[in-house]
Structure 1
Amino acid sequence: MVTTYWKRKGHAMSIGNDDQIAAWLDDPSSFIWIDIQYSDMDQHRVGELLASLNCNALAVKDVLRTRHPPKIELFQHQTFILYRGISEVINELEYDHQQIGFFINDRYLVTVHPEHSMGISQILLADELPEYVEEPMLLALKIMHRSSDTYLSNMLEFEDVLGRQEDALLAGEGEKHMAALAGYRIKLLRLKRIFNYHQQMFAEFCSHANDNSESFIQLSKHEHYLTDVYERFERIYSLSCLYYEMCSDMVEGYISISSHQQNVSMRVLTVITAIFVPLSFLAGLYGMNFENIPELHHPNAYYILLSSMLFISVSLIVLFKRKKWI
């Protein structure tokens, strides 16, 4: 499906399909946003359409791949951005991601994606959309900024989830939440990878915006907004790293506490065993069925043995207390 948003000077924005492209080409002063959702389209047709707009052939191949790391490429008359957008939010840490390609020129923006895009849907509701169409680079940054809003708000909400998990661990309910924390770590690790790509990509973008060469004029024009998007992804990446470390610390903390509790239990059992070993030895010694055990015939042998066993027990208990083993 191809949707076009055509804006002529002094006219209202016109929404249509690829039929408007020819009219846009005939009016050098007009601007157009071509949004291509190719889930129901032949990719060969998409390639032909992009080729007709002088899009780089290798960039077209990249944008039609199923997976490719986010990146930017700056050509003489065009900027290409490959961005990991959001099709659907499943929960705070899970997203149905999709690859979105941006082909940006002074007069047009072409967005290419396989599924519904939340960032594009949100920008379509903006009252300033006709003005954005006249600034293709700004429009692309606005779309990515809306996606970063979704990432950031969900990451901040996840902080409350982590707080509840921490309270549960302190309340002694760690066994129930260990699987959830392990799952959070895996999800955060995946998001860290995506956010790191975006942070590096926009850092490179900002460095190009500071370049004074002619091919980067369209970037320097929107340097402030570009820096804002970069700082947002930098914050999202730092939050994902922080939350990953917090999950790891909570898991390791719970394991340490459990290990300490197990060590305390084992120490108590060891002390009990150490006390009863000599008592069991004496009981076993005088329980043997030999005819000649002289002590057995002593009139006070029973009381002497019990006293000895009591003395041994008390002595060991006092010794273990002094050693602070119990």
Structure 2
Amino acid sequence: MVSSLQWLPKFQNFIAAPVAIQRALAAVTGHRRHRHHHQRYSSTAFASDPAASGTTSTFNSIRHEEYGRLLPCPSENVLPRNIEHLVVREGGSILDFITKALDLPPLYVADLIHFGAVHYALVCPKPPLTATSEEIKLYKEFTKPAVLRKRPSIKGKTIREAQNTFRVTQSDQLVEAGTYVRVHVRPKRFPRCYEIDWRSRIIAVTESYVVLNKPAGTSVGGTTDNIEETCVTFATRALELTTPLRTTHQIDNCTEGCVVLARTKDYCSVFHRKIREKQVKKLYLALAAAYVPCGVMTHYMRPFRKSPKVVSEVWPNS
């Protein structure tokens, strides 16, 4: 039987409730429950043994019962995104492991893998500062030198190299004990993709590249948890190409305009060189709510990874 190390939110009291009560609460407090659920690393509950995992089985079934397939796409992202962090205890299929660990339908897990919403690393990354002592203890258990030396898959790799994450691409991919798995249970969606006549958005087609008039509300190359609903994917299908198009540059999801998609790996390098040599110029046309004076306007942005970014006309230290 496949078991896992799973960071769980603070639901100790709720998990123990009878099934009938849980179903009643699910209908009343669903939105509030989902809002807290995605705060994975601030939790204190931690399932590390079969008994503890069993107590969450019914809860997970109820928590995910409102989800069917990832398609058809919802009209909007009404639920917050959440991420599950797991560690494999016994090797096997990635599909079977996630299905059992999170109590999700196999078809839904297969869709997540197809969307690119499942990632893995040979060795579990270091837990964040908000991790509990139990989580840190279990992390150390799986990263002991004596344990790592027994794993042939990381032979010749440093710990840092083995902690690099990669996207799972096949449902039948095998994972060994000690493998870290990250599952984006509710990936970011782009319903606008299904409303577009993509063939009419193609501006030019050559042997090396395709120029696309990107619609607003779409992603050029996808996100960490969704590489299916992208301009690259839908443009490839619209042109009935046998080889997928490649991303050469990005513009924001909310922006409409021209993007160049490469048909070959070589042209990706060619276009990237043009960008480095400043042979490519981007021009933006914006609709302003008030008068904008002419000239150069300089703003400073705090180097935070999370959005929204903080922008100021004044240098932060001044």
- TM-score (norm. length: structure 2): 0.23
Name which structure has the greater RCO, CA cutoff 8 Å, separation 6+.
2
Greater C-alpha Rg: 1
Bigger share in helix: 1
- TM-score (norm. length: structure 1): 0.23
